[in-house]
Every structure is written in structure tokens, then in C-alpha cells.
């Protein structure tokens, strides 16, 4: 699903945030991505989500060498990736339902069942009564739940979730983890960034630990 080789990223010349990262994320796997604040978790996920470009190294996504793709080819590939970003990036002038439906609208395909899907997702995130509310009126946790629903509406083969439970209470965090688990069992490859140790302890998924710009495999498959 993802293969990278000697991937490096610098925002300012000479200061590498990610250093020669080589790893493989197999199709259908579920990985935690952890590390201290500022370790580069969001940066790595943004590279995988194709929203930023590496400074050097190679990145293969869905079997395609990303670093060689032209700008016109990127959006197509990007659509296969569901992202829950750390700051939610909801559109304030759209309702909750419209925000969730956005990836289907953008894709340009006429989805006959968008409304039904949105209704199902609203129920699933427990925000049915907020369907026509606009994001500025929501709490941080509610926004986060909308961002999660929006990320999964297209059943993306790859889901990148950046601290998706960061604003949720422990009970709701667990519930969403079960949801991600269900998606994973249905075939979605997931990378979930978190610095929540209790979450990592509660679920036996392999852990990629970012430290000083490098990824170490802290807990392997099946340990
Ligand atoms: N857009 C940016 N421009 C410059 N520096 C950035 C940018 N985004 C992140 N950084 C820096 O890169 C490092 C890693 O940040 P980030 O990927 O957000 O880490 P994490 O998600 O693990 O907290 C930090 O030192 C941060 O200040
Ligand atoms: Mg981050």
C-alpha cells in the first residue's frame, strides 16, 4: 500500500524533520504512529496523503511512484486516501451534512446514495440532530467526529488519521477505535497517529515510533 525509501523532508533548508525513512505498510494493515509532539507524525501523514512533497527519497502509493507523477495525476491518487487532519479543516459555510458529503461531491461521480450514506454516518457518529448545523457552533469533539465521517464516506482504501481521538473523551475514543477496527477488517489500510499511550496499550496493532526524524518499529505484528 505504502512503500517509502530514504524519504526525507525539510521545511527549511538544512533542517530535516524526517530523515531517510524507509518502511513498508502492507495492504490491509493497521499501524499506530507515535512519537513526541513535534516528532513529525503529521508531516509523515501529509507526505502519505500527498499534500506535501518529500525533499528527497522515494514514495510509492498504491503501486505508483509518487515522486515521478505529474501534478495532474496527483488529485486522482489523492482521492483514494481518506484523511482525518489534526485541525479538522471543515468548511464553516457548509452544514455538517454537506461537510460529510464533500468527498463525494468533489469526486464528480454521481453518487445516488449520498444522502442515505450521510444519514447513516451521522447516526454512527451520534450527531444526527446536528445535520443542518454549521461547524462554528460545534465543540472540538463534535468537529472531530464530523471530520472522521467525512474521511470515510468514500470507503477509501487508505485511511490516515491524525490524532483522530485527540478531542474525544476516553469512552468515545474507544468507540471510534472500534469503528476504525471495523473499517480495517473490511479491508481499509489504516495509519493512526496518536500520542495516547493508553490507546496504544489497549489495541495490539504494530507501532511505528518517530524519534529524531527516524521511524523505529516499537511493537511488531502479533506481539
Ligand atoms: N508547515 C510547516 N512549516 C515549517 N515547519 C513545520 C511545518 N509543519 C511542521 N513543521 C515543523 O516540523 C516538525 C514536525 O512537526 P509535526 O509533523 O507537526 O509533528 P507532530 O505531528 O509529531 O507533532 C516540528 O518541528 C514543526 O515545527
Ligand atoms: Mg501532529
Question: What is the reported pLDDT for 87?
Answer: 86
Query: Tens digit of pLDDT for each residue in 42-73?
Result: 999 999 999 999 999 999 999 999 888 887 88
Question: What is the reported pLDDT for 58?
Answer: 94
* Block residue for cell numbers 523532508: 9
Question: What is the reported pLDDT for 113?
Answer: 86
Query: What separation in Å is there between the alpha carbon of 12 and the centre of ligand 1?
Result: 11
Ligand nearest to the CA of 33: 1
Question: What is the reported pLDDT for 29?
Answer: 96
Question: What is the reported pLDDT for 60?
Answer: 95
Instruction: Determine the atom of ligand 1 nearest the C-alpha atom of 193.
Output: 21
Q: Is the CB of 40 under 6 A from ligand 1?
A: yes
Question: What is the reported pLDDT for 218?
Answer: 66
Question: What is the reported pLDDT for 68?
Answer: 82
Q: In order along the chain (223 residues), what is the average pLDDT of each group of 10 residues?
A: 94 93 95 94 95 93 88 85 91 97 80 88 94 96 93 93 89 88 94 92 93 82 53
Q: What does each C-alpha distance from 145 to 12, 56, 171 come to in angstroms?
A: 33, 35, 13
Quickly list DSSP for 27-79. TT-EEEEE-STTSSHHHHHHHHTTSS--SEEEEEETTEEGGG--TTTHHHHHT
Ligand nearest to the CA of 34: 1
Question: What is the reported pLDDT for 220?
Answer: 66
Closest by alpha carbon to 18, among 180, 216, 176, 215?
215
Query: Tens digit of pLDDT for each residue in 5-33?
Result: 999 999 999 899 999 999 999 999 999 99
Question: What is the reported pLDDT for 27?
Answer: 96
Q: What is the pTM of this model?
A: 0.92
**CA separation for the pair 12, 46 (Å, rounded):** 16
**Residue nearest to ligand 1 atom 24, measured at CA:** 38
Instruction: Determine the atom of ligand 1 nearest the C-alpha atom of 52.
Output: 1
Amino acid at each position: 500500500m505504502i512503500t517509502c525509501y530514504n524519504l526525507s523532508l525539510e521545511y527549511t533548508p538544512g533542517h530535516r524533520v524526517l530523515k531517510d525513512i524507509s518502511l513498508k505498510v502492507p495492504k490491509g494493515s493497521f499501524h499506530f504512529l507515535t512519537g513526541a509532539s513535534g516528532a513529525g507524525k503529521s508531516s509523515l501523514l501529509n507526505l502519505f496523503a500527498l499534500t506535501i512533497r518529500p525533499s528527497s527519497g522515494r514514495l510509492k502509493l498504491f503501486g505508483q511512484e509518487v515522486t515521478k507523477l505529474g501534478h495532474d495525476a496527483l488529485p486522482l491518487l489523492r482521492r483514494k486516501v481518506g484523511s482525518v487532519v489534526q485541525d479538522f479543516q471543515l468548511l464553516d459555510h457548509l452544514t455538517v451534512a454537506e461537510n460529510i458529503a464533500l468527498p463525494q461531491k468533489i469526486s464528480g461521480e454521481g453518487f445516488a446514495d449520498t444522502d442515505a450514506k450521510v444519514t447513516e454516518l451521522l447516526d454512527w457518529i451520534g450527531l444526527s440532530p446536528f445535520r443542518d448545523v454549521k461547524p462554528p457552533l460545534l465543540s472540538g469533539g463534535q468537529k472531530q467526529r464530523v471530520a472522521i465521517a467525512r474521511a470515510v464516506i468514500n470507503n477509501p482504501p487508505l485511511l490516515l488519521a491524525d490524532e483522530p481521538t485527540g478531542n474525544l473523551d476516553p469512552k468515545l475514543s474507544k468507540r471510534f477505535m472500534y469503528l476504525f477496527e471495523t473499517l480495517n477488517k473490511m479491508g481499509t489500510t489504516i495509519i493512526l497517529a496518536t500520542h495516547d499511550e493508553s490507546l496504544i496499550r489497549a489495541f495490539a496493532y504494530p507501532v511505528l515510533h518517530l524519534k529524531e526524524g527516524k521511524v523505529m518499529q516499537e511493537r511488531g505484528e502479533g506481539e
